[in-house]
Chain A
Amino acid sequence: MADPILEAQGLWFWYAGEQAPVLRGLDLAVPRGEFLALVGANGSGKTTLTKHFNGLLRPRRGSVRVDGQDAAGRSVGELARHVGYLFQNPEQQIFSPTVRQELAFGPQNLGLSPAEVEARVDGALARFRLSDVAGSPPAILSYGLRRRVTLASLAAMDPPLLVLDEPTVGLDAPGLAETFGWLAELHARGRTIVLVTHDMSLAAEHADRVVAMRQGQIIASAPPSELFRQRGVLSQASLVAPPVVALARALIPLGMRGDSRSVESFCEEYAALLAGRAAPRQPREPEL
């Protein structure tokens, strides 16, 4: 692939003083603009892998290239220009006296001009509906608002590649909708997204490609619908297919294709199938 934004080759990693390697000779290439879901059970090495993308961890063996250059020799601060990272429990990172200052932190670190920083902060405040609390201390805001502050902080840095580590933990439905609505926008604008999750419904619905990990190795890499057709993979990675996928697969003997990624696509297929079977009362075109 020409010019992947992220490339890991022969990546081995183990923590100092520990015998078992967490990553075992991993190869991964992520093309620009891809929405990649990185899935696997806890302990499979997903987070360890992603921490190599911004230099928080360095390979013991093998290499990592970020945005065309070797990550070795580049500091975490420098890589932060290319890679935005949202950790689990991101609200822990909040420390500023006001929301505005919190959002300005990242852009300032990138060395942007005050005018540019201002513009980015205003944009992020508006996009995440935080304008009303711009002057409030973020640490005492409600949980939902703090979560939005962390998303806005990431948005203000506007990196070409975003890594989100289990962003759905502790999120309610509106928070989920907001996060994924924003990710979809970014995806449409050509940003690359790596989503670390064990929630297969999300992976199925949003990702271009799913990479499944198990014990430090990649055991599968395919678009979601293809991945669900590979029966052994999910159970090997200790993952559970989303209910709608399980339902679609269960109805394969009766004519369903079995590769639905979402509720909508399943219902369209089912309705079309029914229309084909019965004498059509009302001709229904499947919505594409």
Chain B
Amino acid sequence: MTLAIQIEQARFAYPPLAPGQPAPWVIDGLDLALGQGEWLAVMGASDAGKTTLCLLLAGLAPYLTGGELQGRVTVAGRDTADHPPPALAGVVGLLFQEPEAQLFNPTVETEVAWGLENLGLPLPEIHSRLDEVLALLCLDQVRQRAPGDLSGGEKKRLALASVLAMRPSLLVLDEPMGGLDPAGQRDVLDALSGLRRDRSTTIVMTESDPEAVAAFADRMIVLDGGRIALEGTPRDLFHRPGQLAALGVAVPQMARVAVTLNEKLGAAFSFTSVDEARQALAVYLG
């Protein structure tokens, strides 16, 4: 079975600002293997290389960004060094953090269709995918609306729809919760969990908000200085707040409660959601 992602000994540096200036390795010795259908969360401080990893997975680095890549990045069996990013567009879908930088069509409908037009799909195919994806992300009511008139959550869903319509087998999301209020975050999380339930898309998500990660990710890696410093399940890693704090990663409140109580009471709590916590703690009170 082909792995969804295989990164071997990758090192990547952006081009220097001027010739002769240093070009530090932003990714510095990364190995990663991810199976089809898995959901990986990538955490780390803001300059740890999370966004660069997303660009590498989509083949945008080094092809468009310039710079030097050592090692190999393979997505869905394709080596990104051999495929320019547009050719990977039907395989890897990348969602950027800023909606402004990726929503540029006049209506929701044309926005979602744009990528499909690029792929040269026949019109009936475009129409059927449009209907499917707009329904999936609850955007059919606003089909003719201008993207600028949508709420934050709707814009994110639109960006997601425009990427999903291309039916990628790997979805890479760069800080999907960024800039959203709780209602918007709920929108996006519902959409993503629906996705995971109905298709077996592989998902890689960089995120600073630990609550979202705890709720959905199967696996989690923490980047530091361009390489993987910690690897495991979210449940496992979130119960090491000391290590995470040193790496610049926030911990969900419930995990912090568990760890703090374990220290205070010599207990062995392990919960990541409010319900789990309530059940576990009620036992000792009731």
Contacts and interface: CB of A to CB of B under 8 A. Distances in A.
Given A243-B254, A263-B253, A173 B45 contact: yes
A271 B183 contact: no
Contacts of A170: 46, 97, 175, 178-179, 208
Nearest to B26: A142
A274 B249 CA distance: 31
Given A170-B175, A171-B208, A255-B285, 6 more contacts: A140-B17, A238-B182, A243-B277, A267-B257, A277-B284, A277-B285
Interface in A201-217: 201
A215 B101 CA distance: 29
Given A243-B253, A244-B253, A251 B282 contact: yes
Shortest 5 CB-CB contacts between residues of A and residues of B: A173-B250, A254-B285, A172-B46, A198-B181, A267-B260
A198 B45 contact: no
Contacts of A147: 46
A247 B277 contact: yes
Contacts of B208: 170-173
A26 interface: no
A174 B274 contact: no
Contacts of A95: none
Nearest to B249: A173
Interface string B246-286: 00111011101100110011000000011001100110111
Contact of B248 (A169, A173, A201): A173
Given A247-B277, A251-B281, A240 B182 contact: yes
A42 B285 contact: no
A246 B47 contact: no
Contacts, number: 104
B245 interface: yes
B282 A274 contact: no
Contact of A41 (B181, B248, B250, B257): B181
Q: How big is the B interface, by class?
A: 35 or more
Interface in A121-148: 140, 142-144, 147
Interface of B: 17, 44-47, 97, 151-152, 175, 178-179, 181-184, 208, 211, 245, 248-250, 252-254, 256-257, 260-261, 264-265, 273-274, 277-278, 281-282, 284-286
A62 to B, nearest CB: 27
Given A247-B274, A271-B265, A263 B245 contact: no
Contact of A201 (B253, B260, B274, B282): B253
Interface string A227-260: 0000000000011101110110011001110000
Chain A contact residues: helix, strand, loop or mixed: helix
A31 interface: no
Contacts of A254: 282, 285-286
A176 interface: yes
Contacts of B182: 41, 198, 238-240
A160 interface: no
A53 interface: no
B274 A270 contact: no
Interface in A155-208: 169-176, 198, 201
A266 interface: yes
A238 B183 contact: yes
A112 interface: no
A147 B248 CA distance: 15
A144 B47 contact: yes
Contacts of B281: 247, 251, 270
A273 interface: yes
A254 B285 CA distance: 6
B254 A247 contact: yes
Nearest to B275: A250
Contact of B260 (A238, A239, A263): A263
A244 B261 CA distance: 13
